[in-house]
Structure 1
């Protein structure tokens, strides 16, 4: 790998973490957010995750049915209100959670009068019905319901024709939707880092049938994307740039230590407290203990917990003893890392000014720009 390649990804801003809205989180719905992202990455990641979640998650569904005395789906059953087509449609609405990936054959046996629901399905230890109140059929006084249903664990959608070759005589093939994902929505908004407000914030909403929790679905979808993209990486990722090792004899410090406390996006009250305490950079903040912070004027437990939570997502905490901090030549009044020359700082400032006026000389590599609409 050429030594300069690492600069392609090392200088890109990384999200602070994966935030879950615990107030609205259920077994069937989850809202998640990631910020900050480079401009354009919100749409890139949001759309990719949405497509993978809708197409690639695995789940259980009814793929075939055998009804006593029935030869095809256009038949009727004695003293049963619904015809066979309606019964099959009702069975397709039953949602299962399987604890293994093997095909299951389950039975239903009921004598009328009464109704047949998903709760009447005779289950095994490896299968659970998630909607036991799902209606299947209505039986009259002489009605009798004897059925076998085949449940398979697969990915995506399969037409009935695909199941027919695998079935014994007497079974009716059913087209089946195995995906546990019911809906995915993403939205991209602006995120602020320091004085810049053109970064992306991605919000993702996921609805499932309950067989797979939304947070698990997002994790699995991300893993699938990672595995698929890994084939494109054709260099050794373990190679460290020698030039950087030779340039410094001090321990490698967390880059976040040199960032301004403005990047933490704290509440106004917390930010005012830090300014009053003359804390400008994150490195200065983590060097303070909790007790020291609580002595700051107007700084209470709420502000303390807010700061601890954000620092934790960055791999930092209050009261840290960091080897090599502060580094030689460090100036708390200078927001830049030691070693940055005046010419470099001037060039960086000029580049930022050019980008702000649309004359930076580089177009948006992701084709991003404004805030895209919600995608459902």
Structure 2
């Protein structure tokens, strides 16, 4: 274990600001390669955070199916293009940016006015084309996070006409590793791991690997610091509860039920989730033409989409 070494074999910046790095972890005992490789891969892909655009507000636009006069792309295309912009951040707090520009012009990422804490990695990234002399104003909200966040998970929040984006925070795009056996003159076997890391450019592969190693060390240090105790601890069964108040105003259209279940609910004047939760499972099945199959569908949808479990 004391002879384990790690070194960078290759490091380069590829197209659109993305980065690639290859590392060699040497002198591992047989079987340790898969353990080390899997651990680092999982941490690199799951536990590193980044910053991304989480919402935008466009002057004169109230929903994602609108169009902007003089702009070639529709709102959905613009939102999709914005997801491809990569940012570096010096802070983990929410930040805001602005874009105010008059056409005709091609709008790229470098035209966004950012705070000193933010930097665009791919400034030439295309956003839209303005073909007339109209003035376009957009306000951006940037958030720091891990993993990804679907826009549908925050559609209840009142964001003053902010359009939500499916946000990808992960700075590491791909990780791969390969294990090789090494034989010495005495025919003893050691293993070495070739670790390949691709990032979006907001962090270098070397920085990503260092951060992943630190997270792993901190995790197992906590386990070492945990003191054993002989006391018997009574574990209470978990209780599951959810505050349903924020969900009461959701229209049942958002649940995307089948036509039969939806029609039965509408005929019973059940228009929101709040109306739906006033019915017990028994009363719900007593609705006209609303059978057990439709009830099971509603229960499953409430559980999977909103985390609400009807007893």
Q: Smaller-chain TM-score range?
A: 0.5 to 0.7
Partners of 1:25 and 1:135 lie apart in 2 by 23
Structure 2 runs not aligned, ≥5 long: 228-311
Pairwise CA distance, 1:166: 5.2
User: Retained in 2: the 8 A contact 1:64–1:163?
Assistant: no
**CA positional deviation for 1:165:** 5.1
Measure how far apart 1:196 and its partner are: 2.9
1:226 paired to 2:214: no
Q: CA deviation at 1:199?
A: 1.4
Of 55, 72, 95, which residue of structure 1 is paired with 2:63?
72
Q: Which residue of 2 aligns with 1:154?
A: 145
- 1:82 and 1:119 map into 2 onto residues whose CA distance is 18
* Aligned residue among 171, 187, 193 for 1:180: 171
The aligned residue for residue 118 of structure 1 is: 109
Post-superposition shift, 1:37?
0.4
Number of corresponding residues: 223
Q: Which has the higher strand share?
A: 2
User: 1:106-156, CA deviations, whole angstroms, 9 ceiling, x for partnerless residues?
Assistant: 001111111111011011211100111111111112443210111111111
1:297 corresponds in structure 2 to none
Match among 15, 20, 23 for residue 8 of structure 2: 20
Pairwise CA distance, 1:233: 2.7
1:84 maps onto 2:75 in alignment: yes
Q: What is the Cα-based RMSD across aligned positions, in Å?
A: 1.9
Distance 1:15 1:185, change over 3 A: farther
Cα distance in structure 2, aligned partners of 1:234 and 1:144: 59
State the 1:179 CA deviation. Answer: 0.9
After superposition, the C-alpha distances for 1:258-306 in whole angstroms (9 at most, x for unaligned) are xxxxxxxxxxxxxxxxxxxxxxxxxxxxxxxxxxxxxxxxxxxxxxxxx
In the aligned structure 1, how far is the partner of 2:112 from the partner of 2:187? Answer: 58
1:40 CA drift (Å): 0.9
1:18-77 per-position Cα deviation (integer Å, ceiling 9, x unaligned): 1111x5444711110111101111011101110110011110101001111111111111
Conserved 8 A contact 2:4-2:28: no
Given candidates 158, 171, 178, the residue that maps to 2:162 is: 171
* Alpha-carbon contact 2:11-2:19 (below 8 Å) kept: no
TM-score, normalised with respect to structure 1 = 0.56
**Secondary structure of the equivalent of 1:93?**
coil
Match of 1:257 in 2: none
2:106–2:130 contact (8 Å) kept in structure 1: yes
Give the Cα–Cα distance (whole angstroms) in 1 for the partners of residues 148 and 45 of structure 2: 11
Q: 1:105·1:151 contact (CA, 8 Å) conserved in 2?
A: yes
Q: Of the candidates 94, 102, 105, which is equivalent to residue 93 of structure 2?
A: 102
Query: Rg: which structure is higher?
Result: 1
Please state if 1:140 is matched with 2:128: no
Give the TM-score normalised by the residue count of structure 2. Answer: 0.67
In structure 2, how many angstroms separate the alpha carbons of the residues matched to 1:80 and 1:106?
Answer: 20
| Residue 190 of structure 1: aligned partner | 181
Unaligned runs of 5+ in 1: 1-12, 237-376
Q: 1:69 to 1:45 in 2, by over 3 A?
A: same
Counterpart Cα distance in 1 of 2:154 and 2:106 = 29
